[in-house]
Amino acid sequence: MERRSDLCQDGSMIDSHPRAERRVVALSREQIIRAAVAILDDGGIDALTFRALAARLSTGAGAIYHHVANKGDLVAAAAVDAVSSALTQADDDAAHGDIRAVMLSAFDAISTRRWLGTQLASAPWQPAVLLLFERVGSELDAMGIPEASQFDAASVLVHHLLGIASQVDAGNRLSGRHTGRQSFLESATAAAISLGPPVAYPFLTRISSQLAHHDDRDQFQAGVDIIVSGVMAR
């Protein structure tokens, strides 16, 4: 059976003679980034290798470098994609001037796509972070926060988000089928407590049940509320 053309996983046409030949359709940066996001959503950052990406695009590993500078550039671009769509999502959901809604959709994107939190927290002031900054800032403006306070306020909010982003994939990474998130946190706390004796850990001990049973999303919202009242209180 001679097939003369085939549908590649991302929907582009390629030729498929027995020996590898020239692509029928040129690769594009957008196509590459879309494929990268799919791999990231599927298997996380470790699954995204140039070999895997090239295979999915039915091309050679080297070809990708014609459209993307390196792996950092690639993941940064994927993050821009993910953040934009999260913020567009917020457009639909929310009334204008509602920071909580914007922050929550960013949070949801981050906790759904674990690679995103890792990426946002790993390269400083990358475009995706500036995108968040822009949106949070303009929301603050719409809320009537004075211009002089907007920069500091946006900064705490975004940093809080990034901080949470870095901690959010907690249970998922380490726990197998047997350990849920809660017992993971509990055992981490227990491990820390047993780090002593140089110091005891009275605070962790006291709140360990809260730590174990808290919901990340609720906690995030509580943090946003604290920050917003702090901003208002000035």
Fill in the per-residue mask, 44 to 83: x = in contact with a second copy (CB under 8 A), - = not in contact.
------------------------------------x---
Name which position in 33, 37, 40, 48 contacts DNA (CB under 7 A).
Answer: 48
For the bound state, the minimum distance from the C-beta of residue 157 to a second copy, rounded and expressed in Å, comes to 9
51 binding partner (options DNA, a second copy, none; Cβ < 5 to 8 Å by kind): DNA
- How far from 184 is each of 105, 189, 196, 216, 218, CA to CA, in Å? 26, 9, 20, 14, 19
For the bound state, the minimum distance from the C-beta of residue 24 to DNA, rounded and expressed in Å, comes to 9
Q: Which CB, 50 or 220, lies closer to DNA? A: 50
Q: Please give the residues from 123 up to 162 whose contact with a second copy meets the rule CB under 8 A.
A: 124-127, 129-131, 133-135, 137-138, 141, 147, 150-156, 158-162
In angstroms, rounded to a whole number, what is the distance separating the alpha carbons of residues 189 and 183? 10
In angstroms, rounded to a whole number, what is the distance separating the alpha carbons of residues 4 and 1? 10
Strand segments, DSSP code E, in the chain are 6-7, 13-14
- How far from 150 is each of 64, 97, 139, 145, CA to CA, in Å? 40, 13, 10, 6
From 47-55, 142-150, 156-164, 201-209, give the range in contact with DNA by CB under 7 A.
47-55
In angstroms, rounded to a whole number, what is the distance separating the alpha carbons of residues 45 and 222? 30
Residues making up the chain, counted from first to last: 234
Q: Please give the residues from 168 up to 207 whose contact with a second copy meets the rule CB under 8 A.
A: 168-170, 173, 184-185, 188-189, 191-192, 195, 198-199, 201-204, 206-207
**For residue 58, what are its two tokens?**
């039915």
The residue behind tokens 């982003």 is 165
Residues in contact with DNA by the rule CB under 7 A? 19-23, 26-27, 48-52, 58-63, 65-67, 70-72
